[in-house]
Chain A
Amino acid sequence: MPLAIQRDLAYPTRFVPFLTTLLFALISVVPLNLPGFSVVTPALALMSVFHWSVYRPDLMPLSAVFVVGLLVDLLTGTPYVGISSLIFLLARAAVMSQRKLFVNRTFPIVWLGFLVLTLCAFILLWALVSVLHGATVGIRPFAFQAVLTVAFYPVGSYLLARAHRMFLAKD
């Protein structure tokens, strides 16, 4: 067994970022059935990948990001398995390259960063789906989900920050 996993098993709380991301991925597919609520839900897993990449990238390794993406694709039943892995991996790489812009900044700055990242991610996603489908697909559902994702970021980020403080405070 690799040393990193042995060390992590000794400190189960080190799995909190991965597990919360999995939980977010699960919640995003649970049917809400709220009156007037659309079929599109915010991309909660992307939110969590971003959050942990900014605050604890050591506990959100690329392999974990890959696995979460794969699970999202299998859960949502998309014909393009691997597409979320790709988007999440690129999102994490983008965050890591610009990380100094986010660390120790106020919330609005981080939120702005998430907005830019989400826009890029969804434009890329739309382009990829269009190429794979062989024709341009409607951009409205993508735009709608992007807006919804950015709008829900404060709530998601707050919950993840709570988990961060609760489990990883002394880490």
Chain B
Amino acid sequence: MRISAPVKMAAQRLALPFLVFVSGMLIVFGKTDLLLYDGLRTAVSDRIAPILQAVGQPVATVTRGVEAISDAVRVNSQNAQLREENARLLMWQEVARRLVAENAELRALVKLVPQDTVQSVAARVIADSGGAFARNVLINVGKGDGVTRGQAAMTGEGLVGRVAEVGERTARVLLLTDLNSHIPVEVESTHQRAVLDGDNSEEPRLVFLPSKTEIKVGDRVVTIGAGGVFPPGIPVGVVSSVSGEVVRLEPYAELARLEMMRIVDFGLSGVLPQTVPPAQRSSGKGAKSAATAQ
């Protein structure tokens, strides 16, 4: 089919305003319906996951090389540090053993019904956002591995974030430093409740603290069960700075260098914004029905 020259020229001239308009409309639609692109995003992530893993292989090799060199350089100081830590941990081990025994005795005494064991699945990070205005990672487990929206993601050190989107083979974890992350927490020693708000910086803020609170640097902060999103007591981080109204927290988990994490299922059904009933969601047309439901 031949297109006449004037039509072609007009089309070329209109292409830029047209595509700019389309981009703008996409942003507006996404803003009005937060779940609109979930299906598309997870579909793209699922398709691209194998490519990402292939591209990630050589990168991981280089990273390991760099790490090996830096480890070799720091071997002496690191050794001393580890010896010290080991001594401290051995002491803790002693304490823990005593507590386990004591705990078992007390449980037997009060005939406590044991809690359900926690299910967890290990996940590898295959992509991180890397951008200036989003803090999330893509992991290599999805629906098939039992991951569902709202589950907690944690490392051995502490909370990482929560599962925001689930595909067949991949899932996206919203880190607790993201602008859109709001996690109910409490100061462990005083039980003062607050919300941990990410602001894209390395250290998220504690907001809605009761006024005139006696919070100080070094206080441990853990999750609370409010809202049923997370189980209570997962370590989150320590208060790193208090200046006037702004209280910041340093997460225990090393969020800048996440390689592996655990997605933990505490058997709680989260109350994350979800407009579709669970039965419909599981039919695999979640995104479409979510879009029409609103």
Footprint of B on A, CB under 8 Å? 3, 26-35, 37-41, 43, 62-63, 65-66, 69-71, 74-83, 85-86, 89-90, 93, 122, 125-126, 128-129, 132-133, 137-138, 140-142, 144-145
Q: Which residue of B lies closest to A133 (CB)?
A: B179
> Is B130 touching A89 in the complex (CB atoms < 8 A)?
no
How many inter-chain residue pairs (CB < 8 Å) link A and B?
165
Which of B59-67, B183-191, B270-278, B284-292 sits within the interface? Answer: B59-67
> Is A77 touching B165 in the complex (CB atoms < 8 A)?
yes
* Cα of A151 to Cα of B185 in the assembled complex, Å: 39
Name 25 A/B residue pairs within 8 A (Cβ), A-sorted.
A27-B55, A29-B128, A29-B138, A31-B128, A31-B258, A35-B257, A39-B128, A39-B255, A39-B256, A40-B132, A41-B130, A74-B40, A74-B45, A75-B127, A75-B138, A80-B27, A81-B26, A82-B26, A89-B20, A93-B16, A132-B27, A133-B179, A137-B179, A137-B200, A140-B201
Which of B29-37, B206-214, B229-237 sits within the interface? Answer: B29-37
Considering the complex of A and B, which 4 residue pairs feature the smallest CB-CB distances, nearest first? A82-B26, A41-B130, A86-B23, A85-B23
* Cα of A107 to Cα of B15 in the assembled complex, Å: 30
For A37, the chain B residues whose CB sits under 8 A away are: 256-257
For B60, the chain A residues whose CB sits under 8 A away are: 33
Q: Which residue of B lies closest to A141 (CB)?
A: B132
* Cα of A50 to Cα of B280 in the assembled complex, Å: 44
Given contacts A35-B257, A66-B22, contact A78 B134 (CB under 8 A): yes
For A145, the chain B residues whose CB sits under 8 A away are: 131-132
Which of these, B25, B130, B199, contacts A29 with CB under 8 Å?
Answer: B130
B132 to chain A, nearest CB (A): 4
* Cα of A133 to Cα of B180 in the assembled complex, Å: 9
B164 to chain A, nearest CB (A): 8
For A76, the chain B residues whose CB sits under 8 A away are: 129-131, 134, 136
Given contacts A35-B67, A77-B41, contact A85 B256 (CB under 8 A): no
> Is A86 touching B63 in the complex (CB atoms < 8 A)?
no
* Cα of A145 to Cα of B200 in the assembled complex, Å: 13
For B126, the chain A residues whose CB sits under 8 A away are: 30-31
Q: Which residue of A lies closest to B200 (CB)?
A: A141
* Cα of A43 to Cα of B259 in the assembled complex, Å: 22
Footprint of A on B, CB under 8 Å? 1-3, 15-16, 19-20, 22-27, 30-31, 34, 37, 40-41, 44-45, 48, 51-52, 55-56, 59-60, 63, 66-67, 70, 125-138, 164-165, 172, 179-180, 199-202, 255-259
For B26, the chain A residues whose CB sits under 8 A away are: 70, 81-82, 85
B157 to chain A, nearest CB (A): 15
Q: Count chain B CB atoms within 10 A of each CB in A70, A77, A90, A122 and give the residue with the most.
A: A77
Q: Which residue of B lies closest to A65 (CB)?
A: B19
Given known contacts A31-B126, A77-B41, what 19 new A-B pairs fall within 8 Å (CB)?
A3-B2, A27-B55, A27-B59, A30-B52, A30-B59, A31-B59, A33-B257, A34-B63, A39-B256, A40-B131, A63-B15, A69-B23, A77-B136, A78-B134, A86-B23, A89-B16, A89-B20, A133-B179, A138-B200
* Cα of A134 to Cα of B22 in the assembled complex, Å: 22
Q: Count chain B CB atoms within 10 A of each CB in A62, A125, A140 and give the residue with the most.
A: A62
* Cα of A76 to Cα of B180 in the assembled complex, Å: 14
> Is A79 touching B134 in the complex (CB atoms < 8 A)?
yes
> Is B133 touching A141 in the complex (CB atoms < 8 A)?
yes
> Is A30 touching B55 in the complex (CB atoms < 8 A)?
yes
* Cα of A147 to Cα of B179 in the assembled complex, Å: 22
> Is B133 touching A129 in the complex (CB atoms < 8 A)?
yes
Which of these, A71, A77, A137, contacts B138 with CB under 8 Å?
Answer: A77
Q: Which residue of B lies closest to A132 (CB)?
A: B31
* Cα of A37 to Cα of B19 in the assembled complex, Å: 36
A16 to chain B, nearest CB (A): 18
* Cα of A115 to Cα of B58 in the assembled complex, Å: 30
